[in-house]
Amino acid sequence: MTEIDERTITLKPFISSDVTLNPKGARVEQLYLGGSLLWDKVTRGDGKETSTHPCTPIFGSETWTSFVLPQHGPMRNDEVRILTTQSAAIAIYDIHEGTYPNGISVYQQFSLDSNNFTIKTTHFNQGNEPAPVNFAEHAYWLTPKGWEGLMINGEDVTQLVKEDRILKWKDLNEILIPGVPRILLAQKGLPYANLWAGTNSKGLCDTHYVCIEPVEQDPTSSKGFGYKESLILPGHFRQNEFTIIV
């Protein structure tokens, strides 16, 4: 594999599918799959321009710990190394932040096929202390006709989006976004989805995207980040993945 220095990297092994990555935060700035634009950079109602990014070692903010971690962790705003082939890439990042235990390395593998896209994330603990991790991928899905009537596994989840709620979902999930072809999402190790859309200064929800975010643990639970089930022991690793299929 060859290390790439350009600011953005585009994998385009197929005519109908491509993905653009940014080494600043291992962000997925654009995802075309099967001819459909599913993810893109968006400008939220609060004025922030953003795109799909990893949240690690924490999703959300600290509640039961005091490591002085930023919201969603530091990786999304830091430079990462990216190695690439024609249809795959690996982002590599070491977490060094606040009083968080040293030694956690993150490897994100991005794999693109003609009708599917996979993100596989591995956390290795090469340090001397147990380290808590609650990983999520903060995915921004385009909603050309809004997200009212968004269906996941046959359930209308519109209200869950409005309330920034967590959904426990299946290993294989059907996602129906108004105006977008049917999507399947298969996951391993990411049994929850956080549903969310930002708001503007008037408190009105953004409608041009919806966040459907695969996450390891329920961040609202006292058994989430910092609890024993979130710990990766020295010399151990934890891996998760999800695949989008059109």
> Could you count the other beta carbons within 10 Å of the beta carbon of residue 61?
12
Per-residue pLDDT tens, the chain, 246 aa: give them. Answer: 434 445 899 999 989 999 999 999 999 999 999 999 999 999 999 999 999 999 999 999 998 899 999 999 999 999 999 999 889 999 999 999 999 999 999 999 999 999 999 999 999 999 999 999 999 999 999 999 999 999 999 999 999 999 999 999 999 999 999 999 999 999 999 999 999 999 999 999 999 999 999 999 998 887 789 899 999 999 999 999 999 999
Q: How far apart are CA 237 and CA 205, in angstroms?
A: 38
Tally of domains in the chain: 1
Q: What is the CATH number of the domain that holds 160?
A: 2.70.98.10
Three-state SS at 83: strand
- Which residue in this structure is represented by tokens 């932040």? 97
Structural domain boundaries, residue 73: 2-245
Q: What angle do CA 9, 177, 173 make, to 5 degrees?
A: 85
Q: How far apart are CA 140 and CA 170, in angstroms?
A: 20
| Contact indicator for 91, 110 with CB cutoff of 8 Å | yes
For the entire predicted model, the pTM comes to 0.95
Residues in the chain: 246
Tell whether omega for the bond before 13 is within 30 degrees of 0, i.e. cis: no
